[in-house]
Structure 1
Amino acid sequence: MPQVRDLSVVDVPGGCILTSCDISAGFGEKAHDGLVVTPEVTARLTLRVALLEMIASGADVVSVSDVVGAEMEPTGRRIIIGLKEELSKANLNHIELNGSTEENMKVTQTSVGVLVTGFATKAALKLINVHEAAVLFAFGEPIVGEEVLQKMTEMPDYHLVKKLVADSSVLEVVPVGSKGILYEANLLAKLNNRVFKETSSLDEISLNKTAGPASVILTAVKKRDCSIFEKHFSGAQYLGELCGNEEQI
Structure 2
Amino acid sequence: MRDLSYVIIDDTYELVISSDNAANIGEKEKDQIQAPYSLVAESLFRVAFMENRSIGAHPIAVVLYNFTDESVWREFTQTIKKKMNAMGFEVPITGSTESNFPLPHSAFGLSIIGKVEKRNKIDCQTPANARFAVIGEPLVGEEVIRHRERMAPLALFEELVKNKDIYEVLPVGSKGIEKEVKALLQANDFSEDVQVKCSLDLYKSGGPATCFVITYNPGEEVNIRALAGDVFHHLTIAKY
Q: TM-score, normalised by structure 1?
A: 0.86
Question: Which of 188, 198, 210 in structure 2 is aligned with 1:215?
Answer: 210
For 2:29, the equivalent position in structure 1 comes to 31
Partner of 1:43 in structure 2? 41
Cα separation, partners in 2 of 1:153 and 1:101, compared to 1, 3 Å: farther
After TM superposition, the structure 1 stretch with the greater mean CA deviation from structure 2, 220-229 or 41-50, is 220-229
Deviation, 1:120, is 1.3
Structure 2: stretches of 5+ with no match in the other structure: none
Cα distance in structure 1, aligned partners of 2:82 and 2:226: 32
- Cα displacement string for residues 135-176 of structure 1 (whole angstroms, at most 9, x for unaligned residues): 111111111111101223542123212221222221110111
**What per-residue deviation string (whole Å, max 9, x for no partner) do you get for residues 55-74 of structure 1?**
111111111110011221x2
Matches within 5 A, 1:1-249: 4-13=1-10, 14-72=12-70, 74-92=71-89, 94-195=90-191, 197-198=194-195, 200-202=197-199, 206-223=201-218, 225-226=220-221, 229-230=224-225, 232-235=227-230, 236-241=232-237, 248=239
Is the CA contact (8 Å cut-off) linking 2:178 and 2:203 kept in structure 1? yes
- Percent identical across equivalent pairs? 26
8 Å Cα contact 2:139/2:151 also seen in 1: no
Q: Cα–Cα, structure 1 residues 229 and 70, in superposed 2: closer, same or farther, change >3 Å? A: closer
Going from structure 1 to structure 2, the CA distance change for 1:190 and 1:30 (only over 3 Å counts) comes to: same
Q: 1:30 to 1:133 in 2, by over 3 A?
A: same
Amino acid at match of 1:211: G
CA distance in 1, matches of 2:174, 2:86: 23
Q: Secondary structure at the match of 1:194?
A: coil
Deviations 1:11-39 (A, max 9, x none): 33222211100001110122331111122
Q: What secondary structure, in the 3-state scheme, does the structure 1 residue paired with 2:120 have?
A: coil
Cα offset, 1:226, TM superposition: 4.0
**Distance of 1:232 and 1:110 partners within structure 2:** 37
Is the CA contact (8 Å cut-off) linking 1:44 and 1:85 kept in structure 2? no
Aligned-pair RMSD on alpha carbons? 2.2
Q: Deviation at 1:41? A: 1.4
2:64 and 2:113 map into 1 onto residues whose CA distance is 12
Helix, strand or coil: the match of 2:98? coil
